[in-house]
Chains A and B, each alone.
Chain A
Amino acid sequence: MKTKAGLTSHGWRRLAVTALVTVILAGALPAQQPDSRTPEPPEERQAREVLGRWIEAIGGGTQIKGLQTAFIQCKIDYGSGLPAVDLLVRGAPGLYRMEYTTPAFGTLIQAFDGLTAWQYNEVLGFGFQTTQEHNFNLVMTDFHAPLRLGSRYPYRRLLPKETIDGRQLQPVQLRTAGGREEKWYFDPATGYRVRAELPGPSAASPVVLEFEDFRPVSGALVKEPYRTIRREGDRKTTVTMQVVLYNESMDMGLFSAPAGPTEDNRQLQALFRRNAYLRASLDQVKTRVTDQVVRITTSGLEIPTRVYQKRPNLLAVVQDTPGVGKAWQGYDGKIGWAWNEVEGYREMQGAELQQMLGGADLEGPLKLSAACPFRRLLEEKLENGRTLVGVALASMKGVEGNFYFDQQTAELVRVETFVQTGANGQLKVTAEFSDYRMVDGLLMPHLVTVTNPAMRMETRVRSVEHNVPIDDAIFAPKKDQ
């Protein structure tokens, strides 16, 4: 899903989170006491003293320990004409609720009530957060983190003073147990941390944070930087705090997951888990060769097709279309490509490549649940004597489609979605899956009927062979035919 300014929904949320975490963690560093049993190197002691002075400057450990609830309202501005994101954070010990809002995308809520880490968007629906997302959010909203600085940054070292933008600053190097290194800069006059350099997506583009406009916070004797500027290469993001309230009374019900959707999701999880028995059989599959015929019933066209798959996600599709000739598509682990006699060679990008990779993955069906954390139960359908359970699936990237399962067998019966067609195309399609047959312990549909606005196609699987030796050369781009 794209916002009007072209930033993906996933993209703005990720940037918003990254920007916010830098703000909130700014007040989340403890003055750890040294271990009296081992002598403390002088540069570590000096670093601890600088950090301790900073903690005192922003309110002190006692005040931070006394934080019980937080209400933070801020605006995240990406510049470059991209829409700003409004972020509202509510926190209590072990609980959080964050609301990200843009005019184009609406509001995304991510929350944790102590039991369930859930998320909701009116377009994407309701879903559970992934473990990774939840852990990230927990860290981000842990207002008592200063008391745990030692475990987060076991290694700290004072560095020689540096002059940056005309100011002499005191840098401290910090390292996590995982080896991640950061460099923080402190203003010797105020004790505030005013700058931090963090590892970026690549070594060439570190993330630089600048903290400004320190103000006392209502409800607690602590101070927060009301403006944080994040720079990564040419990109500049500004986070401006609008309201910060600590220790206000809070409606704890806001953290709770809605009962109905939660129960629906549990049922769906159970439905997905019923396919888990495939796991053992699927683990045995290293390669797959599928012979099939694509018949475009509305045009009387038959296209013999052979699909080669090899772990982890190598793919080659060979077709011979009457009137068009031979056509190949493939993924060699690096490049997704296509070649046919009429259009020549091209490499796939973006959504088209992602779609190909989704189809290339032998474990794709098992990953569906994890890939689509947002789920909305649709009305049950009674068709041909069987009950179909429908679920609208979505990920942070947008709506994936409506998936219908046989309630009794858990077989996937129908998918209503949009598919990428070529480098620049998208079509609404409905795919019907039937004639399930067991192949080497795997239940596979042998007839797939796809209808789109222009035509109807049937794909009849003629044969499936597993663990046939496949030379990797078949997946390599075929530029010259």
Chain B
Amino acid sequence: MRMMPAFVRVGMTALGAAWGGLAGAAEEARQGEVPLWPEVREQTFNAVWQTVNDSYFDATFGGVDWAAVGEKYRRHLPEADDKEALRHLLRAMLGELRKTHFSILPREMSVFTPAERSRAGTVGLAVVCVGHEIAVEDVVPGSPAAEAGIGPGDVILAVDGLELAGLRPWLEKLDATPARRDLYLTGLVSSHLQGSVGSSVRLQLRPAHDAERSVELKFTDHAGEWTEPMGSLPSVPIHVIGRCEPDGLAYLRFNVFARPVMKDFRALVRQVPADGGMVIDLRGNSGGLTVMASGLSGWLSDHSFSLGAMHLREGHMGFTVTPQSGAFLGPVAVLIDSGSASTSEILAAGLQEAGRARIFGETSPGAALPSLFKALPTGDLLQHAIADLQTPHGQLIEGGGVKPDEVVARSLDDLAAGRDPVLEAARRWIESTRHKPAVPPADSR
């Protein structure tokens, strides 16, 4: 019998709540004077290097000589005259690991209180990568984007003067999958589409049925629900669409795995008839609380199974699904694309391998390292991966991504016409399946 006191165990629950989300790049931050800058700079550099050194999940650092990397970048430390220069230096150092979920987030762009939400205003449009181009997926009615006449299917050519086509050659050189490159590009544009309320962003657009044009959009307040900050993990807006249609099809789409989503999901499970079907749309969902993957899955099963395990440097933690009373046992389709990262990939891969869901869409980016956030002496935040993730069949999601059972992609014309062939494919499959007995997971009993 283990004699470790309760408080040792208690803290472990928090580790299980590691963040599996991609923070995404933030826009240029205003630079501020920091007292005793050389000291703060030195402490920040040390904190970043040491944290990674202590917690990186692979003791061999994947062949990277982390000590040598530290020395290499330390030599350039005196050149970092301000926070932004230091961020560039630290990001470059973290980039040597060639893994996702290592980033430096400017404190100025992070939201921890309702008052700070004005730092992350919106122009009211969501983007998606279609055929390696960044296109408008959705426009919020009445938003600055809607008022500017922007519509789904419009292609974004440049943002704040940064021509996206010019980034492609640089992205091609990265040791990354096409889906990962699409994710970088989508994340970059998305970060520019968020800014201080009152400031603006300039977009160069190629509308679906019109000539190229340039528009300037002012950021407005992000109405709606936000996640609760979790220690050093900032708050982000939540978008949830949950509906149960008259034909018994439940549809859930959300942008982040956060606690409030569970409430909507449970409500949906209660609404959907036993002979209905369910679509979980994870397109554009960059992740969130990792434990939510098993939490959601518990409402989709009448038996326990594994979604995979995160492997730390010394130890591991499994994502074990525990069936919940009143779970929905009918057919489940999961939609993914190059924007479905991290916890989205854990959920999709786990349900796919367990035979509990059929996956539709495009290959995910393979960016699924559970991570934590740490406040640095500069006030910025370090996101650092603490574990690698393996599916129950032993596949590493990082780098490889989740491959759909049915590959279906949207075109620019689909977006412009309001068609969603991915959702339609999922609907067809559900309709063909829902009146048959659910297939039990292949190897998880």
Which residue numbers of A lie inside 8 Å of B, CB to CB?
292, 294, 296, 298-303, 305, 307, 315, 317, 319, 321-325, 327, 329, 340-346, 351, 354-361, 364-365, 367-368, 371, 400, 415, 417-429, 431, 448, 450, 452-455, 457, 459, 479-480
Residue of B nearest to A352 (CB): B9
On chain A, the residues within 8 Å of B315 by CB distance are 418, 421, 425-428, 452-453
Q: Bound state CA distance, A305 and B6, in angstroms?
A: 11
Q: A324-B259, A454-B18 are in contact. Are A298 and B374 (CB under 8 A)?
A: yes
Does any Cβ of A come within 8 Å of B55's Cβ?
Answer: yes
CB distance from A263 to the nearest CB of B (A): 25
Q: Interface residue count for B (Cβ, 8 Å)? A: 59
| Residue from A322, A421, A448 whose CB has the most chain B CB atoms within 10 Å | A421
Q: Bound state CA distance, A459 and B4, in angstroms?
A: 13
Q: A419-B2, A453-B386 are in contact. Are A296 and B7 (CB under 8 A)?
A: no
Residue of B nearest to A305 (CB): B10
Q: A423-B322, A454-B55, A454-B372 are in contact. List 13 more A-B contacts (CB 8 A).
A: A294-B10, A299-B233, A319-B10, A323-B233, A324-B17, A329-B10, A342-B259, A342-B292, A417-B4, A425-B309, A425-B315, A453-B312, A454-B15
Q: Cβ of A431 and Cβ of B13 under 8 Å apart?
A: no
Q: A341-B259, A343-B322, A453-B312 are in contact. Are A355 and B11 (CB under 8 A)?
A: no
Q: A321-B14, A427-B314 are in contact. Are A299 and B387 (CB under 8 A)?
A: no
Residue of A nearest to B382 (CB): A298
CB distance from B227 to the nearest CB of A (A): 7
Q: Bound state CA distance, A435 and B265, in angstroms?
A: 45
Q: Bound state CA distance, A429 and B12, in angstroms?
A: 10
Q: A355-B2, A371-B1, A420-B2 are in contact. Are A343 and B291 (CB under 8 A)?
A: yes
On chain A, the residues within 8 Å of B375 by CB distance are 300
Residue of A nearest to B57 (CB): A453
CB distance from B163 to the nearest CB of A (A): 38
Contact with A along B2-46 (1 / 0, CB 8 A): 111111111111111110000000000000000000000000000
List residues of B (272-328) whose CB comes within 8 Å of A's CBs.
Answer: 289, 291-292, 294-295, 298-299, 304, 306, 309, 312-318, 320, 322, 324-325
CB distance from B258 to the nearest CB of A (A): 7
Residue of A nearest to B289 (CB): A342
Among A327, A400, A415, A418, contact of B13 (Cβ-Cβ < 8 Å): A327
Residue of B nearest to A347 (CB): B322
Q: Cβ of A294 and Cβ of B14 under 8 Å apart?
A: yes
Contact with A along B152-177 (1 / 0, CB 8 A): 00000000000000000000000000
Q: Cβ of A322 and Cβ of B229 under 8 Å apart?
A: yes
Does any Cβ of A come within 8 Å of B69's Cβ?
Answer: no
11 contacts between A and B (CB under 8 A): A298-B372, A301-B232, A323-B231, A342-B259, A364-B5, A400-B3, A423-B304, A424-B306, A431-B5, A452-B315, A454-B372
On chain B, the residues within 8 Å of A299 by CB distance are 14, 230-233, 372-374
Q: Cβ of A459 and Cβ of B322 under 8 Å apart?
A: no
CB distance from B322 to the nearest CB of A (A): 4
Does any Cβ of A come within 8 Å of B406's Cβ?
Answer: no
Q: Bound state CA distance, A454 and B369, in angstroms?
A: 13
**A-B CB proximity, top 8 nearest:** A323-B230, A424-B318, A301-B231, A427-B315, A425-B317, A346-B322, A428-B314, A457-B11
Among B11, B55, B295, contact of A296 (Cβ-Cβ < 8 Å): B11
Q: Cβ of A454 and Cβ of B230 under 8 Å apart?
A: no
CB distance from B318 to the nearest CB of A (A): 3
Q: Bound state CA distance, A303 and B12, in angstroms?
A: 12
Does any Cβ of A come within 8 Å of B51's Cβ?
Answer: yes
CB distance from A213 to the nearest CB of B (A): 41
Q: Bound state CA distance, A433 and B316, in angstroms?
A: 24
On chain B, the residues within 8 Å of A344 by CB distance are 295, 298-299, 322, 324
On chain A, the residues within 8 Å of B108 by CB distance are none
Q: Bound state CA distance, A255 and B131, in angstroms?
A: 78
Does any Cβ of A come within 8 Å of B262's Cβ?
Answer: yes
On chain B, the residues within 8 Å of A329 by CB distance are 9-10, 13
On chain B, the residues within 8 Å of A424 by CB distance are 306, 309, 317-318, 320
On chain A, the residues within 8 Å of B7 by CB distance are 292, 294, 305, 307, 448, 450, 459
Among A361, A418, A459, contact of B10 (Cβ-Cβ < 8 Å): A459
A-B CB contacts (within 8 Å), total count: 221
CB distance from B413 to the nearest CB of A (A): 39
On chain A, the residues within 8 Å of B294 by CB distance are 343
Among A323, A342, A479, contact of B228 (Cβ-Cβ < 8 Å): A323
Q: Cβ of A303 and Cβ of B14 under 8 Å apart?
A: yes
Among B51, B230, B320, contact of A422 (Cβ-Cβ < 8 Å): B320
Q: Cβ of A455 and Cβ of B324 under 8 Å apart?
A: no
Q: A340-B13, A341-B259, A421-B317 are in contact. Are A317 and B6 (CB under 8 A)?
A: yes
On chain A, the residues within 8 Å of B291 by CB distance are 324, 342-343
Q: Cβ of B10 and Cβ of A323 under 8 Å apart?
A: no
Residue of B nearest to A421 (CB): B12
Q: Cβ of B318 and Cβ of A425 under 8 Å apart?
A: yes
Among B1, B231, B312, contact of A322 (Cβ-Cβ < 8 Å): B231
Q: Bound state CA distance, A455 and B387, in angstroms?
A: 12
Q: Bound state CA distance, A116 and B315, in angstroms?
A: 38
Residue of B nearest to A479 (CB): B325
Q: Bound state CA distance, A173 and B260, in angstroms?
A: 67
Q: Bound state CA distance, A67 and B374, in angstroms?
A: 72
Q: Cβ of B14 and Cβ of A454 under 8 Å apart?
A: no
Q: A364-B5, A371-B1 are in contact. Are A296 and B317 (CB under 8 A)?
A: no
Q: Cβ of A457 and Cβ of B14 under 8 Å apart?
A: yes
Q: Cβ of A342 and Cβ of B386 under 8 Å apart?
A: no
Q: Bound state CA distance, A321 and B325, in angstroms?
A: 24
On chain A, the residues within 8 Å of B16 by CB distance are 421-422, 425
Q: Cβ of A400 and Cβ of B2 under 8 Å apart?
A: yes
Q: Cβ of A354 and Cβ of B1 under 8 Å apart?
A: yes
Contact with A along B365-385 (1 / 0, CB 8 A): 000000011110000000000
On chain B, the residues within 8 Å of A371 by CB distance are 1, 3
Q: Bound state CA distance, A265 and B240, in angstroms?
A: 62
Q: Cβ of B8 and Cβ of A454 under 8 Å apart?
A: no
Contact with A along B258-270 (1 / 0, CB 8 A): 1100100000000
Among B6, B227, B230, contact of A301 (Cβ-Cβ < 8 Å): B230
Q: Cβ of A448 and Cβ of B8 under 8 Å apart?
A: yes
Q: Bound state CA distance, A296 and B324, in angstroms?
A: 29
Among B4, B54, B314, B373, contact of A431 (Cβ-Cβ < 8 Å): B4
On chain A, the residues within 8 Å of B386 by CB distance are 453-455
Q: Cβ of B318 and Cβ of A422 under 8 Å apart?
A: yes
Q: Cβ of A360 and Cβ of B312 under 8 Å apart?
A: no
On chain B, the residues within 8 Å of A419 by CB distance are 2, 4, 8-9, 12
Residue of B nearest to A424 (CB): B318
Q: Bound state CA distance, A319 and B289, in angstroms?
A: 17
Q: A342-B262, A421-B317 are in contact. Are A454 and B10 (CB under 8 A)?
A: no
| Residue from A300, A420, A426 whose CB has the most chain B CB atoms within 10 Å | A300
Q: Bound state CA distance, A251 and B146, in angstroms?
A: 95
On chain A, the residues within 8 Å of B312 by CB distance are 427, 452-454
Q: Bound state CA distance, A466 and B6, in angstroms?
A: 17
Q: Cβ of A425 and Cβ of B316 under 8 Å apart?
A: yes
On chain A, the residues within 8 Å of B51 by CB distance are 298
Among A315, A323, A450, A480, contact of B227 (Cβ-Cβ < 8 Å): A323
Q: Cβ of A358 and Cβ of B1 under 8 Å apart?
A: yes
CB distance from A307 to the nearest CB of B (A): 5
Q: Bound state CA distance, A359 and B230, in angstroms?
A: 27
On chain A, the residues within 8 Å of B372 by CB distance are 298-299, 454-455
On chain B, the residues within 8 Å of A298 by CB distance are 51, 372, 374
CB distance from B102 to the nearest CB of A (A): 14
On chain B, the residues within 8 Å of A301 by CB distance are 14, 230-232
Q: Bound state CA distance, A419 and B6, in angstroms?
A: 11
Q: A358-B4, A454-B372 are in contact. Are A323 and B298 (CB under 8 A)?
A: no
Q: A342-B292, A343-B298 are in contact. Are A364 and B3 (CB under 8 A)?
A: yes
Q: Bound state CA distance, A296 and B16, in angstroms?
A: 13
Q: Bound state CA distance, A358 and B320, in angstroms?
A: 23
